Amino acid sequence: MADVVVDASALSAAASHVCAALPALAWDLRELDAGTLGDAEVADAISHVTAQRKARVAALAEIADITATYPIQVAAGFGQLEDHIVRSLQ
Amino acid sequence: MTVNPADPGRGDVAAILAASVQRVLKAAETREAHASVLAAIAGASPEVWTGLTREAFVAEASALAVELAELATRLDAEGDALSAYGRGVQAIKDEQRALELRRADAAADLAELQRHKRTADVEHMTAMALVAPSDAGERSAELAGYIAEAQDDIAGLNHQWQILISDRDAVNRACITALSGEEVLGSLAPSRMRGVTSGGGLIASLSPTDLAVLARTDPALFAKIAGTDPQKVNDWWTGLAAGERAALIHASPAIIGNLEGVAYSDRDTANRLWFDQQLKEVRDVLNDAQRFGAGSGVVGGYREEISIGDALTRLHGLEAVEKALTASERGAARFLISLTGDSPPLAAVSLGNLDTAANVTYAVPGMGSSALTLPDWAASAENVLRAQQFADSQREHAVVAWVGYLAPPVGGPQVLGTDYARAGADNLGAALGGFSATRPDASLNVLAHSYGTTTASIALTASDVHVSTFVSIGSAGLTPSIDQASDLHADNVFAGQAQDVWAVDPAPGDQWAWFGRAFSDHPVNPVGDSFGAQTFGVDSGVSGTAVTDHGVATEGGTGYLDANTESLWNVANATTGHGDLVTAAVDHEPTPFQEALIEGLSSAY
């Protein structure tokens, strides 16, 4: 069953809101080495956490990317349908 | 313990505290992202948008919002851990500095006292020699007492230094504990992961995002999901949102691409991704070898070390897989439903969509097959598919060109044994079991040729494998334990065999199948009367061209799976539920060559 769109601009806004989450999902934090931390085991622990953080933001960015496409695709599909109807009426 | 005893306050506190602040700021940024996603959900209200896609969007965005909120909380906890650590290190540093000063003062005092005592001792000795009056002896004794006190002070300071080292160790331990704890790592904290060692356990206890993280950070543990019951995998996979599936595919394409129970279109996406990664890897290896010289024959790939020979074999295999994935003109769409990292890789290409086809046939090739022959095997599979579409136009069909096992090489003695078949049967059984779990509504068939019949028949005796129809063509023989069609877990068993001829016999026929049966550990002939299969004609000339060769394809179009052969039409009918339409097998009369042989042998006696 196709979706029904009443307000296409609201869909565009929804997609934009999801896309706005993407910059937060870029890993831009400085790496901490054993010299800075003063201990190799602490450095290992933070390195493990960082690896998980990087993997997590990468996964969440994938999810955000795809989530944002839903309203865009629906709006585009609905737009094509509208054009088709207009052409049919003409 | 890794504390430096000479410098227990080691570490750049300013940088540690700055890192702590960075994490807190990142947490704040993540909370803003969370708020933005919540705004997206609120904005996509039913008043402006209704339908299934909206529901999917809201569900996926809601899950994303939960993940973002959790991430922010964990970043805060990480920032707190680093802040506590930084402050702890600073306290150690301060204490270290104070102790160092006190130790320096005490050492200086001691040196001074020792110098005074040495002077007093000299004066005392001189006075004694001159028999002169002196208080130097008393002073020396008094200084000795002060020296003992100073040495006690230094011992006390050294003890405090040792305590400081222990304190630093405690600061380190506290930080490691915090960083390894649930507040920082969530479900992936060691305390939560303890005891979760099976694939089923991973799926049951971790969110899709956690699994994607695990796939990237602990691939060996994540790989355990490969052994999970396909039914459980299917239940789990079908419950995931598109974004979650994409995250897992990108995190571990090699595992997801071959995970039984995962939707085949998603496996195709994953395997094509892994295909690209493998192709880049082998090309990098070969480029490095070309630039830096082959040397020992082994150069570093970015994931593992592979020899140049292996890299070349894998490259040629991958190129063949790529060719097999190219759909012919007006041909069915092709999907890469399995791919290994072997050299050459094992692979399976589906012609037609396994997620939607009502009738699916796995085609299992015989000796000499590998990724290198996959394009040809896919071409034969396409012939089968087209014939099926003609035989049963009401249903959607798909045929899998399955090169999922290491087949015995042509001309080698291995073809006379069953080791390759048994290993291949495990792989095929897993693939068939996976299909049944993923598509319980579809009909499943197996078509096998030559040594592939040996392999497939063993797979079809596994307790968890069952197919609608098994078709054997040009069989190299089945094992003695499979001497009845009823031994196979198949509702219908069909077998076709061209005239047995020797390789030197000029008469048309199958030159190799009989040889495979006659001199091997798999002598059972599925077209034999006692076996009980429904036999069909392949060289009677009725309804199609007669087969004149052991191969599935010949230049003259007379292989078992060449277009318009009697064999192909019968295979198509057998695998589409029209077994009643197959043509009858003919009794083969001896060829003139065979007659001459028989006559010669008779005359000899």
pLDDT at B299: 47
pLDDT per position as a tens digit, A32-71:
999 999 999 999 999 999 999 999 999 999 999 999 999 8
Confidence band of B303 (pLDDT split at 50, 70, 90) = very low
pLDDT of residue B412: 82
Residue B193 in this model has a pLDDT that exceeds 80:
yes
Question: Which one of B302-316, B413-427, B429-443, B579-593 scores highest in mean pLDDT?
Answer: B429-443
| Set of chain A residues whose Cβ sits within 8 Å of the Cβ of B46 | none
Q: Given pLDDT bands bounded at 50, 70 and 90, which one contains residue B416?
A: confident
Beta strand spans in B368-484 (E): 397-403, 443-449, 467-473
Strand partners, B349: B336, B401
Average pLDDT over residues B492-512: 88
The predicted structure's pLDDT at residue B272: 98
Q: What pLDDT band is residue A78 in, cutting at 50, 70 and 90?
A: low
DSSP string, B460-511: TTSTT--EEEEEEES---B-TT--SGGGSSEEEEEEE-PPB--TT--SSSBS
Summarize the confidence of residues B144-156 as an average pLDDT: 96
Express as a percent the part of chain B with pLDDT over 70: 97
Which of B48, B76, B85, B206 to mutate: most A Cβ within 10 Å?
Answer: B48
Report whether B254 contacts B272 (CB < 8 A).
no
Per-residue pLDDT of B262-285, as tens digits, reads: 999 999 999 999 999 999 999 988
pLDDT tens-digit map of B195-243:
888 999 999 999 999 999 999 999 999 999 998 999 999 999 999 999 9
Task: Give the confidence band of B138 by pLDDT, cuts at 50, 70, 90.
Answer: very high
Chain B nearest-CA distance from A52, in A, is 6
8 A C-beta contact, residue B469 and residue B579: yes
Q: What is the pLDDT of residue B378?
A: 97
| Three-state secondary-structure class, residue B393 | coil
Using a CB-CB cut-off of 8 Å, the residues of chain B touching A46 are 82, 179
The answer to whether residue B304 scores a pLDDT higher than 80 is: no
For the segment B151-178, what is each residue's pLDDT rounded down to a tens digit? Answer: 999 999 999 999 999 999 999 999 999 9
Q: What is the pLDDT of residues B177-187, one digit of tens each?
A: 999 999 999 99
Indicate the SS3 state at residue B252: coil
Residues in chain B closer than 8 A to A36 (CB atoms): 11-12, 15-16, 19
Find which of A6, A16, A69, A70 to mutate to test the B interface (most B CBs within 10 Å of its CB). A70
Is residue B225 within 8 A of residue B251, CB to CB? The reply is: no
φ and ψ at B143, to 5 degrees? -65, -35
Q: Which residue has the higher pLDDT, B148 or B506?
A: B148
pLDDT of residue B505: 79
pLDDT on residue B588: 80
Query: Cα separation of B70 and B30, whole Å?
Result: 9
When CB atoms are compared, the residue of B2, B176, B247 closest to A63 is: B247
SS (H, E, C) B155-200: HHHHHHHHHHHHHHHHHHHHHHHHHCCHHHHHHHCHHHHCCCCCHH
Mean per-residue pLDDT, B335-351: 96
Whether B26 has a pLDDT exceeding 90, the answer reads yes
**ipTM of the prediction:** 0.90
Banded pLDDT at B93 (limits 50, 70, 90): very high
| Band of residue B300 on the pLDDT scale cut at 50, 70, 90 | very low
**pLDDT at residue B483 tops 70:** yes
Structure tokens at B196: 């979760």
What does the mean pLDDT of chain B come to? 93
* CA–CA gap between residue B140 and residue B123 (Å, rounded): 9
Running DSSP on this structure, what letter comes out for residue B549?
Answer: S
Instruction: Among B20, B31, B34, B36, pick the best mutation site for testing chain A contact (most A Cβ within 10 A).
Output: B36
Who among B64, B89, B215 is closest to A63 (CB)?
A: B64
Cβ-defined contact of B216 to A7 (cutoff 8 Å): no
B135 secondary structure, DSSP code:
S
Contact B40 A38 (CB under 8 A): no
DSSP line for chain A: ---EES-HHHHHHHHHHHHTTGGGGS--PPP--HHHHT-HHHHHHHHHHHHHHHHHHHHHHHHHHHHHHHHHHHHHHHHHHHHHHHHHH-
Distance from CA of A90 to the nearest CA of B (A): 27
Interatomic CA distance for residues B449 and B360, integer angstroms: 17
More confident residue, B300 or B207: B207
pLDDT surpassing 70 at residue B369: yes
Residue B34 has pLDDT above 50, yes or no: yes
Average pLDDT over residues B374-381: 97
Partner residue opposite B22 with nearest CB, options A15, A30, A70: A30
pLDDT band for position B301 (cuts 50, 70, 90): very low
> Looking at the predicted structure, is the pLDDT value of residue B349 above 90?
yes
- Contact indicator for B448, B471 with CB cutoff of 8 Å: yes
B293: pLDDT confidence band, cut at 50, 70 and 90? Answer: low
pLDDT of residue B302: 40
- Please give the backbone phi and psi of residue B536, each rounded to the nearest 5 degrees, phi first: -140, 160
pLDDT at B305 over 80: no
- Judged by CB atoms closer than 8 Å, whether chains meet at B44 and A40 is answered as no
